[in-house]
Amino acid sequence: MRWRSFGRSGLKVTELCLGTMTLAGQADEPTSIAILDAAYEGGIRFLDTADVYPVPMRLETVGRSEELVGRWMAERRNREELILATKAYFPTGPLPFDRGNSRIHLMRACEASLRRLRTDRIDLYLCHGWDPTVPIEETLDTLERLREQGKVLYAAISNVRSHEVAEALVAAARSGVKGFDGLQPRYNLLQREAEESLFPLARRFGLGVMVYNPLAGGVLSGKHRPGSAPAEGTRFTLPEIGEVYRQRYWDERYLQEAWVLKDEASRYGLSLVTAAVAWVLSNPDVSSAIVGASRPEQLADNLKASGMELPEELKKRLDRVWFDLPRRPPDLDRPRLDSWYGE
């Protein structure tokens, strides 16, 4: 498993990161533990979780994924071998200050995550979204205080637009605080909007980039036949968040393209999963790609992508995919503070 620098920070991460939103939810506890073990045995030392996981995100299940990860690290005694990332932003309670990027919420959320994860620090703490109701200066100052207290080592933000990143960079410079060390955008063969402005910003200002949905929610697994309905048990059929993923990826043109690419990858002895993840990792702007699973055996093809150099002709074919597909309306599924809660 290769390690990469997280932007110009001193943080080093494995180029594959295990996403945990299925753990203690879609995957029951024994299966979740097996997934964590498989990732660890495959060389992954970077974990991404969030205080609201598992999905579907509900108030009664807040923190269960973090708790499971915390128990696993305690039982395996491997915390010091891992880079641990978690996130805050979405509602964790019924009160107005139980959400967002305010000082009160981030401070309380960080303490709660530390308890659930059974650790004294969070290596990479992310705002799970941009909060227009809170001055960015307050958010950055709060993250700076958490750094000073040793509870957070590095900070990043997910689901953000380029002009918001620019606003945060300016605010950090004016306030004399560190600001964000990295970004967490969506990025895959089918949706490459991050290349247009987020990646150039990250490159210019030395921000790390950990991308999610490298398999387009499973469309690039190659298991969904064109013209079919989403299979039960996939994230496309989950309550609430399933609708988000259907809007994002369940498009007949995507399904048809994935079906063709599956055959083309097989000519080179590769699964579409391996090819799609390797393609994401071939972008030098990417520090790490978040991969997930609902069963441990699903990780095998993801793990093969680490360190892989795609055959030149296949790489060229994958590079062309996006240009032949229709563009989606911007921010169609941009997360809001009330997302996935039916509020």
Going by C-beta distance under 8 Å and a sequence separation of 6 or more, which residues neighbour residue 175? 137, 140, 141
| 3-class DSSP state of 93 | coil
Residue 317, burial from CB neighbour count under 10 angstroms (0-12, 13-18, 19+): middle
Catalytic residues: 53
Task: Kindly report whether the peptide bond that precedes residue 335 is cis, defined as omega within 30 degrees of 0.
Answer: no
In the chain, which ranges are E strands? 3-5, 12-14, 16-19, 46-48, 83-88, 122-127, 152-158, 182-184, 208-211, 288-291
User: Which residues are bridge partners to 86 per DSSP?
Assistant: 125
Residue 149, burial from CB neighbour count under 10 angstroms (0-12, 13-18, 19+): exposed
For residues 252 and 258, is the Cβ–Cβ distance under 8 A?
no
User: How far is residue 317's CA from residue 50's CA, in Å, rounded to a whole number?
Assistant: 35
User: How far is residue 61's CA from residue 54's CA, in Å, rounded to a whole number?
Assistant: 7
Sign of the CA dihedral with 270 first, then 272, 274, and 278 last: positive
Strands 46-48 and 12-14: unpaired
In 140-284, which ranges are E strands? 152-158, 182-184, 208-211
Terminal-to-terminal C-alpha distance of the chain: 42
Structure-token pair, residue 19? 């996403």
